[in-house]
A and B are shown apart, each in its own frame.
Chain A
Amino acid sequence: MRHLLDTKALSRADALEILDVAEDMADTQQREVKKLPTLRGKTVVNLFFEDSTRTRISFEAAAKRLSADVINFSAKGSSVSKGESLQDTAQTLQAIGADAVVIRHGASGAPRTLATSGWITAGVVNAGDGTHEHPTQALLDAFTIRKRRFGTGSRGQDLSGVKVTIVGDILHSRVARSNVWLLHTLGAEVTLVAPPTLVPQDVSAWPARILFDLDDAIAAKPDALMMLRIQLERMNAAYFPTEREYSRRWGLDARRFAVLGTGSMVMHPGPMNRGLEISTEAADSARSTVLDQVTNGVCVRMAVLYLLLAGVRDARHASNQREDAK
């Protein structure tokens, strides 16, 4: 794998490989000593143009457990208006000798621009770009669903027939986009629930069903119900009238949580607005996967960094061996 920019272009085989390697990584994390020597001597740069402590420390933990050197580069503010351009930042990282760049950026497409510009030879991992994609989040969500469903028999399994419902601000959500593509690729049935104002104007090409009514969606007994964080500033742009109304119509409150079957897991990418899109009852229940998602996030990111930085070499090595065998 050269880069991980999105899940749209990720094949089923590649997605399963990441999830299966993440299973191996998860096994290593049960040991007393969690650190592996795999990426010793490699440099991973966390290039964060937006604040995201959760995602950054997850990538940082993943890289460190693989013994990579980690540089955290916080480049807040938009590139053109506030000084250094993406190009200059990228070329600086190239000069420092980055082997992989994990980029979080407020502009959709910035990771692709970085990967295709020729400014840098490092592998690029998209850690969330604008309202486009957040592929490692979708991978950890898929990993979590699979783990809950298949337990130790997860390896090699896809999500055929699994019903996943994603609720919230679909329009602005990179998590939703990445999940729609990845879950579909893995065979899941995806339903999106949102106020009509927070659904993109044309989603005819999306492999997902769109509902406006959360109660209808819950009545369909989803295997996983994923609540997205709602940003209160959306109110000011007339997407919905008040947080109370949003919460009443699209929040997973105690009543809806009670209706939701015991076989359904409740997911949230965090950080949660308790009492707004998700009630404490739901968030803290045994059916909640919120903390599993955090734990699994490290394993999935270990897998991605491993495949990016060690995988190519190993694959070449393996193919050489095959050549030798002929």
Chain B
Amino acid sequence: MTEVLLIRGAKLEGGGAADLIIDGGVITETGASLSRAGATVIDADGLVALPGLVDLHTHLREPGYEASETVLTGSRAAAAGGYTAVFAMPNTSPVADTAGVVEQELALGEAAGFVTVQPIGAVTVGQKGERLAELGAMADSRARVRVFSDDGFCVWDPLIMRRALEYVKAFDGVIAQHAQDPRLTEGAQMNEGAVSAELGLAGWPAVAEESIIARDVLLAEHVGSRLHVCHLSTAGSVDIIRWAKRRGVNVTAEVTPHHLLLTDELARGYDAHFKVNPPLRREEDVRAVREGLADGTIDIVATDHAPHPTEAKACEWSAAANGMVGLESALRVVQLAMVETGMLTWADVARVMSRTPARIGRLAGHGTPLTAGEPASVTLYDPAPTRVFEKTDLRGRSLNSPYLGRELPGEVRWTLHRGVATVADGTLLDAPGVRS
């Protein structure tokens, strides 16, 4: 007996205003001046309605690293950011490389209930890059895994990569590659360039990403498989993906919000909040990934939400952990970097942050149109306000955001996960659907 919601006057994907009626987890009606007796009315005047956001790249840290995040706290952070589904990366402890672990992850997500948690399986046993994990068992499990990744590590061995690409064709899977040549990045601390030269930090050269992407698109073409490139970060990578797509290679690519906004200049103060892998790049790379996202070369925005405890960042740069939390800020950063620059419309945002990630991950019931008969995972977003991003905006367990103290536009007003509110009137709920 979920409540019936009547959303009044939302701009559907930024277009014309319409009303939506949501009942039983489904959009039952859309149109003008709808009414429904007993429905809870949500005044969405001025708000943009987006299909609930889908993150193809989230680190939830559980099991194993609960000091950083749990499935529950990460799910809450996701809901606060307007997400209704997240794909959980397998670099947990134990690694999600068996049917048992991915089913545990799925169950934890269901118990949390804030978002749909879709496990990603490891490509290789223990993410060691040596032999394939039981990909079929994970695909056939209750978690129905379709995305496989050794994220954090590159599937570096070209033969293992080839076999993985081929093998997952059996169940319409995709390999999501963390493109990083390990030999070219030994000890790497930040983007290799003028800033690293000055700071004396070991460089992470763009070519270490680009050479792996180039190899992988050729492998994917050769074996006719589907490849997804995680957190692409350089201008050269955009060129390679553009070239591959023109050739008809079945490749998709993602960019993170931070690579759309921040540059390696931020490393100058040695503040490890700006340490991330792949590293923040140059201004010209930021421009190139924005253009790539705008012209469709890059398919999606994914957060690479990577929570770490305070002490992992409050230390020398080279001792600090890589990664940033991003779920709570992603949509606001995309508005700043892409919408306010005129490079994406809200309909494009719906595509790159919901529809296409759901399609790449073969996740049913998400990224669906805002029309009658479709599942009611919806985000209502107010693009008007601009506020300083603060610790109170972070709703997961960790505070390692690079945006603290920075002005960001926008505010998530409502997040509805299968018709149940997780964020209501700008407030993250203590439990899904429970408003005081």
- B155-193 CB mask vs A (1 if < 8 Å, else 0) is 000000000000000000000000000000000010011
Q: Which residues of B lie under 8 Å from residue A116 when comparing CB positions?
A: 269
Q: Which residues of B lie under 8 Å from residue A204 when comparing CB positions?
A: 194
**SS of A interface (majority):** loop
Which stretch in A129-137, A221-229, A252-260 binds the other chain?
A129-137
Residue contact A130 to B315, C-beta cutoff 8 Å: no
Residue contact A79 to B319, C-beta cutoff 8 Å: yes
Cα distance A109–B267 in the bound complex, in angstroms:
10
Partner of B316, one of A110, A203, A206: A110
Q: Which residues of B lie under 8 Å from residue A187 when comparing CB positions?
A: none
Residue contact B315 to A87, C-beta cutoff 8 Å: yes
Partner of A80, one of B196, B198, B205, B315: B315
Q: Closest B-chain residue to A132, C-beta based?
A: B200
Residue contact A205 to B194, C-beta cutoff 8 Å: yes
Cα distance A140–B311 in the bound complex, in angstroms:
36
* Residue among B192, B193, B196, B270 facing the most chain A CB atoms (10 A cut-off): B270
Residue contact B194 to A202, C-beta cutoff 8 Å: yes
Q: Which residues of A lie under 8 Å from residue B319 when comparing CB positions?
A: 78-81, 86, 107
Residue contact A112 to B197, C-beta cutoff 8 Å: no
Q: Which residues in window 128-155 of A have CB below 8 A to B?
A: 129-133
Residue contact A201 to B317, C-beta cutoff 8 Å: no
Partner of B197, one of A110, A117, A200: A200
- B12-48 CB mask vs A (1 if < 8 Å, else 0) is 0000000000000000000000000000000000000
Cα distance A116–B314 in the bound complex, in angstroms:
11
- The reply to whether the CB of A56 lies closer than 8 angstroms to some CB of chain B is no
Q: What's the nearest-Cβ distance from chain B to residue A78, in Å?
A: 6
- The reply to whether the CB of B318 lies closer than 8 angstroms to some CB of chain A is yes
- The reply to whether the CB of A105 lies closer than 8 angstroms to some CB of chain B is yes
Q: What's the nearest-Cβ distance from chain A to residue B181, in Å?
A: 15
- The reply to whether the CB of B203 lies closer than 8 angstroms to some CB of chain A is yes
Q: Which residues of B lie under 8 Å from residue A85 when comparing CB positions?
A: 311, 314-315
Q: Which residues of A lie under 8 Å from residue B194 when comparing CB positions?
A: 202-205
Residue contact A113 to B196, C-beta cutoff 8 Å: no
- Assuming the A-B contacts A205-B198, A206-B197, are A108 and B192 also in contact, with contact meaning beta carbons closer than 8 angstroms in the complex? no
- The reply to whether the CB of A8 lies closer than 8 angstroms to some CB of chain B is yes
Q: How many residues of B contact A (CB 8 A)?
A: 22
Q: Which residues of A lie under 8 Å from residue B316 when comparing CB positions?
A: 79, 86, 105, 107, 109-110, 113
Q: Closest A-chain residue to B203, C-beta based?
A: A201
- The reply to whether the CB of B201 lies closer than 8 angstroms to some CB of chain A is yes
* Residue among B189, B196, B198 facing the most chain A CB atoms (10 A cut-off): B198
Residue contact A130 to B314, C-beta cutoff 8 Å: no
Q: Which residues in window 278-323 of B have CB below 8 A to A?
A: 311, 314-319
- Assuming the A-B contacts A112-B269, A112-B270, A206-B197, are A130 and B318 also in contact, with contact meaning beta carbons closer than 8 angstroms in the complex? yes
- A76-94 CB mask vs B (1 if < 8 Å, else 0) is 0011110001110000000
Partner of A109, one of B193, B197, B202, B317: B317
- The reply to whether the CB of A3 lies closer than 8 angstroms to some CB of chain B is no
Residue contact B196 to A132, C-beta cutoff 8 Å: no
Cα distance A204–B196 in the bound complex, in angstroms:
12
- A196-217 CB mask vs B (1 if < 8 Å, else 0) is 0000111111100000000000
Partner of B201, one of A109, A112, A202, A203: A109
Residue contact A133 to B205, C-beta cutoff 8 Å: no
- Assuming the A-B contacts A132-B199, A201-B192, are A108 and B317 also in contact, with contact meaning beta carbons closer than 8 angstroms in the complex? yes
Q: Which residues of B lie under 8 Å from residue A184 when comparing CB positions?
A: none
Residue contact B314 to A200, C-beta cutoff 8 Å: no
Q: Which residues of B lie under 8 Å from residue A133 when comparing CB positions?
A: 200
Q: Closest B-chain residue to A200, C-beta based?
A: B197
Residue contact B199 to A202, C-beta cutoff 8 Å: no
- The reply to whether the CB of A104 lies closer than 8 angstroms to some CB of chain B is no
Residue contact B199 to A109, C-beta cutoff 8 Å: yes
Q: Which residues of B lie under 8 Å from residue A113 when comparing CB positions?
A: 270, 315-317
- B194-238 CB mask vs A (1 if < 8 Å, else 0) is 101111111101000000000000000000000000000000000
Q: Which residues of B lie under 8 Å from residue A110 when comparing CB positions?
A: 270, 316-317
- The reply to whether the CB of A268 lies closer than 8 angstroms to some CB of chain B is no
Q: Which residues of B lie under 8 Å from residue A65 when comparing CB positions?
A: none
Cα distance A87–B202 in the bound complex, in angstroms:
23
Residue contact A8 to B198, C-beta cutoff 8 Å: yes
Q: Which residues of A lie under 8 Å from residue B192 when comparing CB positions?
A: 201-202
Q: What's the nearest-Cβ distance from chain A to residue B121, in Å?
A: 30
- The reply to whether the CB of A174 lies closer than 8 angstroms to some CB of chain B is yes
- The reply to whether the CB of A177 lies closer than 8 angstroms to some CB of chain B is yes
Residue contact B200 to A177, C-beta cutoff 8 Å: yes
Q: Which residues in window 68-93 of B have CB below 8 A to A?
A: none
Q: Which residues of B lie under 8 Å from residue A117 when comparing CB positions?
A: 314
Q: Which residues in window 91-105 of A have CB below 8 A to B?
A: 105
Q: Which residues in window 336-382 of B have CB below 8 A to A?
A: none
Q: What's the nearest-Cβ distance from chain B to residue A133, in Å?
A: 7
Residue contact B203 to A131, C-beta cutoff 8 Å: no
Q: Closest A-chain residue to B202, C-beta based?
A: A131
Q: Closest B-chain residue to A107, C-beta based?
A: B316
Besides the contacts A107-B317, A205-B194, what 13 more A-B pairs have beta carbons closer than 8 Å? Answer: A79-B315, A80-B315, A87-B311, A87-B314, A106-B318, A109-B201, A109-B316, A112-B270, A174-B200, A177-B200, A201-B192, A201-B203, A205-B198
A-B contact pairs, 13 of them (CB 8 A): A79-B316, A87-B311, A108-B189, A108-B201, A108-B270, A109-B201, A110-B270, A110-B316, A113-B270, A117-B314, A201-B192, A202-B194, A205-B197
* Chain B residues at the A interface, C-beta cutoff of 8 Å: 189, 192-194, 196-203, 205, 269-270, 311, 314-319
Closest 10 pairs between A and B when the two form their complex, measured CB to CB: A109-B270, A132-B200, A200-B197, A131-B200, A107-B316, A108-B200, A107-B318, A80-B319, A110-B316, A202-B194
